[in-house]
Structure 1
Amino acid sequence: MSSFMRAKPILLSTCAALALGLSFLSAPALAASEMEELAATLHPGDFSPRVEQLLTNGHPAQALELADIGIKRNPRNAQLQFLRTVSLESLGRTEDAAKGLKSLIAAYPEIPEPYNNLAVIEAGFGNLEEAQGLLKKALVINPKFSLAQKNLGDVYLALALECYEAAAPALESNTELQSRLRTLKRISGR
């Protein structure tokens, strides 16, 4: 026989049971969230603009929640999946954003924006060569993708700065190198 005892059920009067039941009905934990209430009013095509609006207005947590609800309704919505990664990154959940972007790239390799955003994350992690490769892929898909072109330029500047910094100690007397190094540091804000 087990040494564990079961709690004895408590019998409540009808009034007490009714009062207890009413208090549960008004409990805030059972109320739908603001984003769930909003989602109930949205047409599937309205989710992305609303998530974008929340991000623009500085509400990434609500944007993430609404994106998640929208993705549950339409798991193949690439725009919502992308906006979800933007929300994650805005919340400082960079690793989760990177994972989401990699999944998005695997599912939709023809969309350039995830490559660009993943490149920015990789560059932030110090993986400049990885960022360079991702940006080149984005530009193969869309050669006129201006943001990817700008980001690739930034990666090239960072790579050049790394090279000049590595060479500088051995070439202290090379005024041209030292001048370029100062210029690159000024341009990059270092």
Structure 2
Amino acid sequence: MVKISKLLLLGAGAYAVKYYLDNPKKAEEHKEILKEKANNSISYTKCMWNYTKENGIAESAEHLKNDLERVTKENIEKLNNKVNDTVEYGKQLANDSVAIKDSAFAIKDKGAELTNNLTEATKILKEEITPALNNYINDVKDIVSRISLKSEELKEIVKKDNVEGKIKEYKEDIDSIVVETKEKIEEISREEKSEIA
């Protein structure tokens, strides 16, 4: 039995060491709490020692009993508050679970409705939209094919009728006309300036 107790104590110690190595902030926090509790205990012990010296053991025991009753009452009140809070939390959790359950059923119904709508939409897509789209695609392909043929015909006509050469000649004629027109405008502009002066 003693060996088991020692093993349990050793295991608890190893677990505590691992916990504090993994959580160094907790080690510091718990160290401060223990330090504060130790200081409080030492202060309380000194205070009770002085009280016993001044008032005797009987009076000191009565004071200690009153302190214990007060601390016990405070802890019982805290515990009752925690129990009440836990009960309220449990009630809230029960209410929330009912609401969640209702929401889950509503989501299930909406999911079924969505599945039906999706099935209907897929059916419409297959039976109505896909054939219309295929017809449209075929029509577009046919138009593109006719445009390609016309484009090839136009290329042949342009090549055959030497349209490129005719455009070049036309551009040369236009260039000379533009130059003549520009010279004529400059000449008129000079004449007007000389008349004004």
The normalised TM-score by structure 2 is 0.23
Q: Which has the higher helix share?
A: 2
Q: Which has the higher contact order (CA 8 A, sep 6+)?
A: 1
**Structure ID, larger Rg:** 2
